Amino acid sequence: MNEKAPKPARLYDRRDRRLYVCWGGAFGALALSGAFCWFLVRPYMEVKATVQRIGYAQGWDLVQSRAPYEIRALGGPEKAAAKCSLYVRSPRWLTTEDSKFEAFRIMAVCGRPAFPWARGLLRSNDPKVRAWAVALLGNLKDPCPIDLLTVALEDADAHVRSSAAQALGESGDLRALEPLVAAIKDPDNRVRCRAAWGLGDLQDGRAVEPLLCALGESHAGLRACAAWALGKLQDPRAVEPLGCALRDGDLEVRGQAARALGRLKGPRVLEIFLEALRNPDCEVRCSAAWQLAKLGDRLAAGPLIRALDDPEAKVRRMAARSLGELEDPRGAEPLIAALKDPNVHVRGQAAMALGKMKVASAAGSLEDLLGSDDVTIRAAAAEALEKIRAEEAPKEAGRGQLLISD
């Protein structure tokens, strides 16, 4: 009877096969987790440690001084920018906004290598990340990506549009003029103010008309920014509108209009400021008194002398300061009289003005102030006397030499 040949023994059974599959899966998962840690977690932890070493909310100068060393530790500008880009993309529950902002500042120090990563961050779902990316792109001015910033002006988030308007203005590129003029009509007032500010930074005469229109808008902040920008442009077409803005109902608008007119200069500007010295608002009179000194025209000496009798102490103080800046001899006696003003700040300013003018006849009155109870008055009088005596000393020495020679 023929016996069947025995079957060859199997190397492993089904149970062994499942065991190998499990081990293979475990090793595969371990490899994947290792790759995840190497390519994602490790860069994240490196940037987090870098941010902590630099410190949150440090000044920009301090960041610039520390960041180059940290960038080298991250592998150079290219790798540092890539790692920081990954860091700022992390979810909110994993990373604070302050640390993300610090990562952006490190990217700014990286310079041009950060450009492609900043451009990619414009597509982020987080509006703050997009706004920071816009600011970073504006900081990379070699060349400034005007096209990307112009697109950012149409972003759904007002904070992003505001950052784009600021970056376009700071670029100094005249291609930004038309987008900024269009942004003056943005529904958000912050964007409109940034756009007006940016038009002033561009310093192009074509921006005058849009800014004059903005000067008549209802939002006080926009009017103030428009006045500031018109002062930067120094266009004579703005003289009369800015003169009207001196009577604006908002204090900041009036102040910016006065400063803008001070930059424009000219005979009509002098007339406007002389009229403003009679304005019922003491803040307008105060601004006018100071701007008259900056114009440097001695025709203002008479009105400023009369302003020493103004009912408001701050106007009298500014008039005394302006007379000292003009150094007109007609102001000497009125300033000596102002040393007896009831307000301590007016007396101190009059003393400093007399010292600046080096009025020798004021020495006696200034010496009387050395016994004042107020330390600031004593200091101002002593400083003024020192300047006057320093001026008189060479004259006395010259007289003595003349007597010896005779």
Sign of the torsion formed by the C-alpha atoms of 164, 169, 170 and 171: positive
Q: According to the model, what pLDDT value does residue 152 have?
A: 92
- Cβ 170 vs Cβ 140: under 8 Å: no
Q: Which amino acid is at 137?
A: L
Q: According to the model, what pLDDT value does residue 73 have?
A: 79
Q: According to the model, what pLDDT value does residue 263 have?
A: 87
Q: According to the model, what pLDDT value does residue 223 have?
A: 94
**How many CB atoms sit inside 10 A of residue 316's CB?**
26
Q: According to the model, what pLDDT value does residue 400 have?
A: 44
Domain boundaries, the chain: 44-55+62-173, 295-406
- Give me the residues of the chain with pLDDT under 70, please: 1-49, 51-60, 62, 141-143, 392-406
Q: According to the model, what pLDDT value does residue 43 have?
A: 59
Q: Same CATH topology for 44-55+62-173 and 295-406?
A: yes
Distance CA 140, CA 323 (A): 46
Model pTM? 0.74
Q: According to the model, what pLDDT value does residue 182 have?
A: 93
* pLDDT tens, position by position, 105-151: 888 888 888 888 888 888 888 899 999 999 888 887 666 788 899 99
Distance CA 215, CA 237 (A): 13
- What is the CATH T-level fold of the domain 295-406, as seen in this structure? Leucine-rich Repeat Variant (1.25.10)
Q: Which CATH number applies to 44-55+62-173: 3.30.1490.270, 3.30.450.40, 1.25.10.10, 2.60.120.260?
A: 1.25.10.10
State both tokens at 372: 């004042």
Non-local CB neighbours of 67 within 8 Å, separated by 6+ positions? 54, 105, 106, 109
Q: According to the model, what pLDDT value does residue 30 have?
A: 54
Q: According to the model, what pLDDT value does residue 37 have?
A: 45
Q: Which residues of 140-166 are buried (b: 16+ CB within 10 A; e: fewer)?
A: beeebbbebbbebbebeebbbbbbbbb
* pLDDT tens, position by position, 150-208: 999 999 999 999 999 999 998 888 899 999 999 999 999 999 999 999 999 998 999 99
Q: According to the model, what pLDDT value does residue 28 have?
A: 59
